[in-house]
């Protein structure tokens, strides 16, 4: 505004103060709107050594090792930082702008795994990333951050973490267009991975439409992964062997289980209300695709925000109740922050960690439990040395595959053991171990 215009406004003040107030208010409003418009404009699309990756439809675990594997062919990767406040995102710093340009040009729009984990890549604002430790979420490949991340002060419940933490479950077969990642400390992954393709849009899902609940037909999983629903759809449950309690035994490893309901119209399908949407995401990432009891387990989020209490729903064909409320169950493992911090989120592995067992608990007793339910006996059984005079813990390892360990966990988790010295029985607790071997010094 010119000096003359300001002088005119001052002269008008003596004549009509209300008018000049309105003029000034309008000017101020215009300036604020101009500032807002400038602030909301997108950042200039300027090349940078740092790229922002957004992973759409992240059904499987995304770790520093996964991202390093897909980016390394485009140029030297310096640092990776993963954050999960708005879905799954990561910033990746390359050694040069040229490497970042190659990565953006070749990877933007590609699927990490076939039909899911689609990459949206943009230029990031930071020119350099700060990394203070090497783990699943952050990694410095320049060697500036040495050694393993510090161990927690309290004794670890599940032993040392293996290279296999974060392994994706078994996938559909297909041609692998990128090399499988090598093992690298805690961020390592083992085994093959699904094909990396470049579709026009994410696949609608991993279930054929005729196997899906109607609410998932023609829907994209990615929309549900970002939703606020704590309800999980579980497909591929063996109708003869699975019960609400056995579904609880599996899912309690990934969050509090509020309610389990089997759908009588769709045998082998259940809806499970968990404590929060994050628990749904953890269960999907770690369990979907797992095979056990000759069925393939597939998990997906539901549109429903809770499971309504429909009253008596009867029993399943195996005689167990079709719906059970676990909101007051003492076997939920995420009821306090302190309790939740003790849980290590782990993919199914062939090694199980057992705890809260009586002091006399032995391999013979475990074999009795396996015989009772017609399960495969553990090939190795290693009790831990403990100073406690109340309970014991240890590891048990299946000989061949993780599906056998999952079957044992399904039946034996929360198995009640006699307690001659007390009023209440011991409740045996099992979880998948991060240990790479049952051998301990």
- Angle at which helix 402-412 crosses helix 363-372, to 10 degrees, equals 80
Domain ranges of the chain: 3-37, 50-187, 209-334, 346-432
**Backbone phi and psi for residue 362, each to the nearest 5 degrees, phi listed first:** -140, 175
Place of tokens 């259940």: 270
Distance of CA 214 to the CA centre of its chain: 25
pLDDT digits (tens, 9 = 90+) for 24-43: 444 544 444 443 343 343 44
Non-local (6+) Cβ contacts of 352 within 8 A are: 378, 395, 396, 397, 398, 405, 408, 409, 430, 431, 432, 433
The residue ranking higher by pLDDT, 3 or 191, is 3
What band does 45 get if pLDDT is binned at 50, 70 and 90?
low
Burial class (CB in 10 A: 0-12, 13-18, 19+), 300: buried
Give the separation between CA 321 and CA 87, rounded to whole angstroms.
36
The runs of H, that is alpha helices, within 210-299 are: 221-225, 244-251, 277-287
The pLDDT, as a whole number, for residue 101 is 92
pLDDT digits (tens, 9 = 90+) for 195-252: 444 333 333 332 233 333 333 323 333 333 444 689 999 999 999 999 999 999 999 9
Q: Which of 32-36, 141-145, 188-192, 423-427 has the lowest mean pLDDT?
A: 188-192
The runs of H, that is alpha helices, within 77-208 are: 97-107
What superfamily in CATH does domain 50-187 come from?
RRM (RNA recognition motif) domain (3.30.70.330)
pTM: 0.51
Specify the pairing of strand 351-357 against strand 392-397: antiparallel
The pLDDT, as a whole number, for residue 314 is 85
Give the separation between CA 432 and CA 404, rounded to whole angstroms.
12
**CATH architecture of the domain covering 346-432:** 2-Layer Sandwich (3.30)
Give the separation between CA 296 and CA 238, rounded to whole angstroms.
9
Domains 50-187 and 346-432 share a fold: yes
State the greatest distance between any 2 C-alpha atoms of the chain, in Å, as a whole number.
Answer: 101
For residues 412-423, give the mean pLDDT.
90
pLDDT digits (tens, 9 = 90+) for 271-319: 999 998 889 999 999 998 888 899 999 999 988 888 887 767 789 988 9
**CATH fold of 209-334:** Alpha-Beta Plaits (3.30.70)
């Amino acid at each position: 505004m010119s000096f003359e215009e300001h002088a005119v406004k001052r002269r008008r003040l003596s004549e009509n103060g209300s008018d000049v107030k309105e003029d000034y208010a309008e000017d101020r409003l215009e300036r604020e709107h101009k500032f807002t418009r400038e602030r909301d404009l997108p950042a200039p699309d300027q090349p940078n050594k740092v790229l922002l990756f957004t992973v759409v439809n992240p059904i499987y675990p995304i770790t520093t090792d996964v991202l390093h594997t897909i980016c390394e062919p485009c140029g030297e990767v310096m640092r990776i930082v993963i954050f999960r406040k708005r879905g799954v995102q990561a910033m990746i710093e390359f050694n040069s702008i040229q490497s970042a340009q190659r990565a953006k040009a070749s990877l933007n729009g590609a699927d990490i795994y076939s039909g899911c984990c689609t990459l949206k890549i943009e230029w990031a604002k930071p020119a350099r990333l700060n990394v203070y430790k090497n783990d699943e979420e952050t990694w410095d490949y320049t060697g500036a951050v040495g050694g393993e991340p510090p161990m927690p002060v309290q004794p670890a419940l599940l032993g040392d973490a293996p290279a296999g933490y974060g392994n994706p479950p078994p996938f559909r077969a297909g041609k692998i267009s990128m090399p499988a990642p090598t093992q690298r400390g805690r961020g390592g992954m083992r085994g093959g991975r699904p094909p990396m393709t470049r579709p026009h849009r994410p696949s609608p899902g991993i279930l054929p439409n005729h196997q899906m609940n109607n609410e998932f037909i023609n829907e994209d999983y990615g929309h549900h992964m970002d939703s606020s629903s704590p309800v999980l759809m579980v497909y591929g449950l063996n109708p003869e062997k699975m019960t609400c309690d056995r579904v609880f035994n599996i899912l309690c490893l990934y969050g509090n289980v509020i309610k389990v309901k089997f759908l009588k119209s769709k045998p082998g399908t259940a809806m499970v209300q968990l404590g929060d949407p994050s628990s749904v995401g953890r269960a999907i990432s770690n369990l979907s695709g797992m095979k056990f009891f000759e069925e393939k387990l597939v998990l997906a989020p539901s549109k429903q925000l809770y499971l309504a209490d429909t009253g008596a729903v009867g029993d399943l064909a195996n005689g167990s109740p079709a719906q059970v409320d676990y909101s007051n169950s003492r076997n939920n493992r995420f009821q306090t922050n302190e309790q939740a911090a003790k849980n290590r989120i782990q993919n199914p592995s062939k090694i199980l960690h057992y705890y809260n067992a009586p002091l006399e608990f032995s391999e013979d007793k475990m074999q009795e439990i396996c015989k009772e339910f017609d399960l495969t006996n553990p090939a190795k059984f290693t009790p831990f040395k403990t100073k406690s005079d109340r309970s014991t813990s240890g590891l048990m390892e299946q000989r061949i595959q993780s599906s056998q360990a999952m079957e044992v966990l399904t039946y034996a988790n929360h198995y009640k053991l006699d307690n001659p010295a007390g009023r209440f029985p011991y409740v045996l607790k099992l979880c998948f171990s991060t240990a790479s071997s049952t051998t301990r010094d």
